[in-house]
Structure 1
Amino acid sequence: MLNIAIIGTGAIAPAHVNAYLKFPDRCKIVALCDQYPEKAEKLKQEYQLTADTVDNHKELLNRQDIDLVSVCTPPYTHAEISIDFLNAGKHVLVEKPMASSLEECDAMNEAAHRNQKVLSIVAQNRFTTPMMKLKKVLDTKLMGPIVHTQVDSYWWRGHSYYDLWWRGTWEKEGGGCTLNHAVHHIDLFQWMNGMPAEITAITSNTSHDNAEVEDLSIAIAKYGNGSLAQITSSVVHHGEEQQLIFQGKKARVSAPWKLKASKAKENGFPEEDQELEVEIQKVYDQLPSLPYEGHAGQIQDVLSAIENNMKVLIDGKQGKQTLELITAIYQSASLKETIKLPLKTDSPFYTREGILKNTTYFYEKTTSVENFANNEITSGGN
């Protein structure tokens, strides 16, 4: 039985609580922490937990009965809290984005390696049946080499969204929609298609003059073989349609699932390749559905890794790669230049201080709400 502590009891914490409660024979929530104790107490009562509540994570560092910690706090606190618990001998599952900078990612990974503890970064969209099946279909290479990828991370958030005290600032949120919304799809993109060789990007703030950060970005990624990808990150798209489309030389596959395959007529014009479509569809249909999806799927993966001394699907290295792509988008847009990957430690955006100094500030944040009365969140269109 693994004992769990949850640090931060805001909007995303219930997803963790619900996921852990699906495995009552394997884990138990024993502690909740929030700088606003009433929020921790409210979550405890809502789920009828027998957990202790505290207002500072340091109070839990020496607790011998805590094995795994979920970090659900604002992004600028992720590194400090995670490293504290790793150094205290606890396993850590930290919400996206992993940290505010690549320097912090490296420090977190070093602490996990030195203490021989699991560090996993939340990317719950990998743990959905459509995404897992799409990944396995891509791994068959039946589509041929991928020549173009389209990543549409479309969300919509109203003006008041950025009134919350920590949102909309580079110092505390670490970025806008590219970091905090499209992180899901950028993670899926690099997991499925690998890291590109370079990034060219532009960012804008079209609708939220109460935020320093962007609400829209468009990036072009280029691979060494000439393959291109376009990545759109947004919180200004009504309907929140989200998709990943992979165009291979022989066929196209996507999530939501759609399959088309073409072959050339004698004059080079297309005709449907029904045989290949049947073959790819058969692979997709024969893949099993996941028993647990979303946060529950990832938490099952983390529990199994701890219990059986295995690797997690999403470790700190994977988490850093996703942040590296996002950082390259910010660096390209701010400096107005194409950025080569991988980013090195001499990148002006490697440290948090470098980001704060060099990034584009769109507006001054003038409103700061401590808490919203309605804490309900939505998770997008698809």
Structure 2
Amino acid sequence: MIKVAVVGTGGISQAHLEAYSFFPERCKVVCICDIYPEKAAALKEKFKLDCDIVGEASAVADRDDIDLVSICTPPYTHAELSIEFLRSGKHVLVEKPMASSLSECDQMIAAAEQANKILSVVGQNRFRDPIMKLKQLLDAGAVGKVLHAQVESHWWRGHVYYDLWWRGTWEKEGGGCTLNHAVHHIDMLQWMMGMPDTVQAVMSNTAHDNAEVEDLSIAILSYANGALAQITSSVVHHGEEQQVIFQAEKARVSAPWKVYASLSKENGFPERNAVLEAEIEALYGQLPEVPYSGHTGQIDNVLTAVENATLNVLVDGHQGRNTLELITAIYLAASTGQKVQLPLQPDNPFYTREGIMANAPHFYEKKSSVTGFAKNDITLGSDYTEIS
């Protein structure tokens, strides 16, 4: 039986607790930790848990009966907590984004390697059928070389969203919609296409004058093979329509799932290739479905690794770092107005959290700070899709 602690009781912690509840024969939540014990007590009651409640992370690190820790705290705490738990001999599953800087990511990876423990970064959308199948289809070469990718990470958040005490600052949240919302889609993109050579970007704060960070960014990625990609990250899009589209040599495929293939007429104009579309549809339909979806799928993956005494998880620290490096490059490009070459080096000003805080634009100063909302239900737009 794997003993689990959940640290942090914000909205996302419930996804972890629900996921762990799917595997009562494999794991048991023995501890919930939060600086506000009453919030931990409310979760304990809601999920009918037989567990301890503690207020300090050190109380989790000091325990010998905990095997795995889910970190569900604000981004600026991820590195410190992960390193503390890894050094105390525990496996770690840390929420997105992995950390506030590449420097912190490197320290986390080093701590995991030294402790010989799992460091997994939440990328729950990889564990959804449309994404997993799309990845396998691209890897199989069914549509040929990808020529262009289009990522639309469209969310909507009201003005008061950034009133929460840790949101809306470079110091504590680490960034705006690019880091904290589009991270899911950017993770999908780099998983499927790899890392680009260069990044160009712009960003703005168009509707949230109570936040230092951006609420809209647009990036263009260039790859060594000539392919291009574009990423729109937003919390100002009503309806929250989201998609990842790959235009390849033979066909267009996407999540949400759609396929369209063209043939060239004698004059170069297109006609629909229904035969190829049917072949791709058949291949897509034959691909295996994930046994568990979202956070439940990722926690199953981590539990399996713990049970098998392996460090092999789908989203490890290196994968989490890749995603953050791409996001950091977007911030660097948007802040300087210059084309950014990857990989980023340790002497880059945006390599550290302090460097980002000093060099990223502060669109507005944070005006309000509340410890929590009376109701913190997570709602999604009517056109929100299952890829996020």
Q: Does the TM-score normalized on the shorter chain lie above 0.5?
A: yes
Structure 1 CA distance for aligned equivalents of residues 48 and 60 of structure 2? 21
Any conservation in 1 of the 2:93–2:122 contact (CA below 8 Å)?
yes
Instruction: Give matches, 1:1-382, under 5 Å.
Output: 1-310=1-310, 311-378=312-379, 381-382=384-385
CA distance in 1, matches of 2:188, 2:17: 24
TM-score, normalization by structure 2: 0.97
Q: Distance in 2 between matches of 1:81 and 1:74?
A: 11
Structure 2: how far apart are the matches of 1:334 and 1:68?
A: 38
State the shift of 1:60 in Å: 1.5
Aligned length: 382
Could you say what secondary structure the match of 1:375 adopts?
coil
CA distance in 1, matches of 2:8, 2:204: 30
SS of corresponding position for 1:93: strand
Q: Is the 8 A contact 2:162 2:210 kept in 1?
A: yes
| Counterpart Cα distance in 2 of 1:142 and 1:130 | 16
Q: Deviations over 1:101-148 (max 9, x none)?
A: 000000000000010000000011111111111111111112111110
1:193-240 per-position Cα deviation (integer Å, ceiling 9, x unaligned): 111111000000000000000000000000012111010000000000
Deviates more, 1:227-236 or 1:53-62: 53-62
Q: Which runs of 5+ in 1 are unaligned?
A: none
What do the CA deviations read for 1:28-56 (whole angstroms, capped 9, x no partner)? 00000000010011111111111100111
Q: Secondary structure in 2 aligned to 1:349?
A: helix
Contact 2:240 2:380 in 1 (8 A): no
- Counting aligned pairs with the same residue, the percent is 64
Alpha-carbon displacement from aligned partner over 1:50-105 (angstroms, at most 9, x marks no partner): 11001111011121110000000000000000000000000000000000000000
| Greater Cα offset, 18-27 or 130-139 | 130-139
Q: CA deviation at 1:378?
A: 3.0
- 1:157 is paired with a residue whose SS is coil
Alignment partners' CA distance in 1, 2:282 and 2:348: 46
Letter in 1 for 2:210: N
Q: TM-score with structure 1 length normalisation?
A: 0.99
Q: Which amino acid aligns with 1:312?
A: V
Work out the CA distance in 1 between the residues paired with 2:72 and 2:249: 41
In structure 1, distance between residues paired with 2:285 and 2:253:
13
Tell me which amino acid in the other structure corresponds to 1:345.
P
Q: CA deviation at 1:375?
A: 1.5
Deviations 1:132-183 (A, max 9, x none): 1111111111211111000000000000000000000000000000000000
Tell whether the 8 Å contact from 2:201 to 2:330 is kept in structure 1 after alignment: yes
| 1: CA distance, partners of 2:294 / 2:60 | 27
Deviations 1:250-276 (A, max 9, x none): 111000111011121111111112222
Instruction: Specify the code of the residue in structure 2 equivalent to 1:366.
Output: K
- Per-residue CA deviations over 1:1-23 (Å, capped at 9, x if unaligned) read 10000000111111000000100
Deviation at 1:309, TM superposition (A): 2.5
SS at match of 1:231: strand
Distance (whole Å) between structure 1 residues aligned to residue 274 and residue 53 of structure 2:
60
Question: Is the 8 Å Cα contact of residues 61 and 84 (structure 2) preserved in structure 1?
Answer: yes
* Cα offsets for 1:303-357 (capped at 9, x unmatched): 0011113300000000000000000000000011000011111111000111011
Question: Cα distance, 1:379 vs. partner?
Answer: 5.2
Q: Give the deviation of 1:290 after TM superposition.
A: 1.6
The one-letter amino acid of 2:341's match is: K
Measured in 2, the distance between the counterparts of 1:376 and 1:289 equals 29
Contact 2:201 2:333 in 1 (8 A): yes
- Equivalent-residue separation in structure 2 for 1:357 and 1:192 (angstroms): 33
CA distance in 2, matches of 1:371, 1:209: 19
Q: Quick one: distance in 2 between partners of 1:71 and 1:60?
A: 11
Indicate the RMSD between aligned Cα atoms, in angstroms: 0.8
Q: Does the 8 Å contact 2:154/2:240 carry over to 1? A: yes
Task: For 2:246, give the aligned amino acid.
Answer: F
